[in-house]
Amino acid sequence: MTKPRVLLIGATGRTGGSILNCLLEAGNFSVEVLIRPSSSTKPSVLALKDLNIKIHIAEISDSTHLAEILTGINTVISAIGPTAHNEQIPLANAAKKAGVKRFVPCGFTTVAPPGNIMWIRDHKEEIYQHIRKLHLPYTIIDVGIWYQVSFPTVPSGRTDYASILLPNVTILGDPNMKTAITDIRDIGTYVAEITADERTLNKFVFVYGELLSQEEVFGKVEELSGEKLERVLVPPELLLTLRDEARAFFQYDFSNMKEAIKVIGLEYAYSKFVRNDNCPDYAKYLGYLDARDLYPEFVPRTFEDFVRELLEGKAAQLFAGESYQW
């Protein structure tokens, strides 16, 4: 029996890499990837050739070439970077023209409503609305926030190698408000299940590993590291002020990446730890299917297991060469 063909965009990125690995491991798909010509000689792209998968080199703006590539593709999965989200519009147009049976746009974020809560969420919603206007079959997958960006740094510095924030000792909003967090490695496993499941067609699906508060996260790191962590508390009222101040001078683009990261981070925090958006109950209210209900046999990695890896120096360095401060 012929395996359904899946085309992945963003295969060398953090989320895309997880999805690629798990699609290949599942063995149920004929996996292909789309690469821009400007990226075709990068080491991460050249490494894909060792995986014995079909690699298409094309510009997403080349609608004619794109439609040819998409002919016969069952599912398109986009894990495209945030600076290129608008490129999903010609991609969706070509997918519609080619008769693609399922389009998975780049969601893979926290649960939040549209409408000026999170700029990056509203940007994604514009793509979702375009897909619906096309009457293109879709599945939108949100994943909470990664374990890999949710841990505090410890005084000894032994977690610094894997942290995007240095130092990271700030608790934003309500310390005891629980939010959904996920190991990035589990995202791909869920995506492989979801994209093969007819129950998820034209649905939003919520994926997460654990539901923990910031205080619980700090406490777990303290327990396993044996180190006492500093806590810099930013109460909800101050968080809202900081968010509004950052927004006031923001151009709502990625021309200044430092400012973009600051606004995005503060908006995420307000949504998660003041509004309590990123949780299973609110996701169900918004109409999401819960992946835990759909796939009870899959047991996601625990945050505790991730912290043990982190403290042993075995966590992936997803942000090598990058660091930010509040």
Tokens at 95, concatenated: 């997918």
- The residue annotated as part of the active site, out of 54, 96, 124, 284, is 124
The H-assigned helical ranges of the chain are 14-26, 43-46, 63-70, 88-98, 119-134, 184-194, 214-225, 236-248, 257-273, 280-285, 291-294, 303-311
Annotated active-site residue 124? The verdict is: yes
Tokens at 295, concatenated: 């796939």
Q: Which residues of 206-224 are buried (b: 16+ CB within 10 A; e: fewer)?
A: bbbbbebbbeebbebbeee
Instruction: Give the CA angle between residues 254, 69, 131 to the nearest 5°.
Output: 55
| Close Cβ partners of 222 (under 8 Å, ≥ 6 residues apart) | 228, 229
Neighbours of 326 (CB within 10 A): 16
CB-neighbour burial class of residue 117 (10 A; exposed 0-12, middle 13-18, buried 19+): middle
Tokens at 54, concatenated: 């079909």
Residues acting as catalytic residues: 124
